[in-house]
Amino acid sequence: GRRIRVHAPQDPDRRVAFLGDQLKKDLLGESADAVGQLVKIDGVPFQVVGVLQTKDQDSSYSGRDKDKIFLPASTFKAIYGPDEIDNLIFQVLDPRRVADAKRKVTEVSARRHRFDPADDEAIQMWDTTEGMKFLSTFFVAFRAFLGVVGALTLVVGGIGVSNIMNVAVEERTKEIGIKMALGAKRRYVIGQFLFETLTITLVGGVLGFATSWIICAVFPSLGLEEYVGRPEISGQVALLTTLVLGCIGLVAGYFPARTAASLRPVEALKM
């Protein structure tokens, strides 16, 4: 849009408007150039001088900025006639000085409107940075919880794979006996069952990664991205999970494989 003069004269006849990006799409379409167009508010025409850039907004006072239309304060006052300002939004350039800025705003407001700056009920402030800190802490704890649940799931899965391989050893006792009677060495038997265990683990891991990929691909279409973010598959997490799966597969398959390799051919053939 055009340059907006912050210190422009207070002209109540300036019928200009600044559109939220989603509102612009709803009113004028996706590709239309909104600047210079006229939009009507309560039957009064306003010239569009700019469109809000797309941004992430996880909190709002009375709706998200992308769905709003902004007017000059003097124009709004001339049309709708509010005599008082009951809401003031300000942003601190240095996030580390939020507390200082809040205290300064309170002191200035107290001098102008004659109230005790120590009175917490005189002026109310909504500090969005506090909400962000809470959300950051919450999501860190939530990720840790999911990590613990995931680790327990992998351990339980490893126990399940180990039980499956124990059953396989029992069912294939004669097969093992024949192989060992024909000269198969213990390391061959151990290697065979370890390979089968790792194959089962690999298939489970591939299915898990495929499910995660589908969830990440479908999630944006649910419209929750601006509230909880967009899930992504981290390369580090994927590598760590692969290593953990491999270790669990080796541990889960080693004991059944050792049991199979310790069978005596004569006894195995009798079973």
Residue 198 has a pLDDT of 87
Sign of the four-CA dihedral 116, 118, 124, 128: positive
Q: The tokens 């959300």 sit on which residue?
A: 135
Strand 38-41 relative to strand 69-70, pairing: unpaired
In the predicted model, is pLDDT for residue 270 greater than 70?
no
Sign of the four-CA dihedral 48, 50, 56, 57: negative
Sign of the four-CA dihedral 144, 146, 150, 153: positive
In the predicted model, is pLDDT for residue 6 greater than 50?
no
262 DSSP assignment: T
Strand 16-19 relative to strand 44-51, pairing: parallel
Position 24, amino acid: K
Residue 269 has a pLDDT of 64
Q: 15: exposed, middle or buried (C-beta count within 10 Å: 0-12, 13-18, 19+)? A: middle
DSSP secondary structure, 88-133, as one string: -----SSGGGHHHHHHHHHHHHHHHHT--TT-TTTS----HHHHHH
In the predicted model, is pLDDT for residue 32 greater than 90?
no
33 confidence band (pLDDT: 50, 70, 90): confident
**pLDDT tens digits for range 152-167:** 888 888 888 888 888 8
Q: What tokens does 253 get? A: 């398959």
Residue 248 has a pLDDT of 84
Residue 127 has a pLDDT of 83
Domain boundaries, the chain: 1-87, 92-126, 128-270
What is the crossing angle of helices 128-171 and 186-218, to 10°?
Answer: 150
Query: Would you say 250 and 175 are in contact if contact means Cβ atoms under 8 Å apart?
Result: no
Residue 145 has a pLDDT of 93
In the predicted model, is pLDDT for residue 14 greater than 80?
no
Q: 102: exposed, middle or buried (C-beta count within 10 Å: 0-12, 13-18, 19+)? A: middle
**pLDDT tens digits for range 209-262:** 888 889 888 887 877 666 666 778 888 888 888 888 888 888 888 888 888 778
- Burial track 134-161 (b if 16+ CB lie within 10 A, e otherwise): eeeeeeeeeeeeeeeeeeeebeebbeeb
Query: Would you say 201 and 248 are in contact if contact means Cβ atoms under 8 Å apart?
Result: yes
Q: What is the mean pLDDT of residues 22-33?
A: 85
7 confidence band (pLDDT: 50, 70, 90): very low
Residue 82 has a pLDDT of 66
Residues listed for the chain: 271
**pLDDT tens digits for range 61-94:** 677 888 899 888 888 888 877 667 777 888 888 8
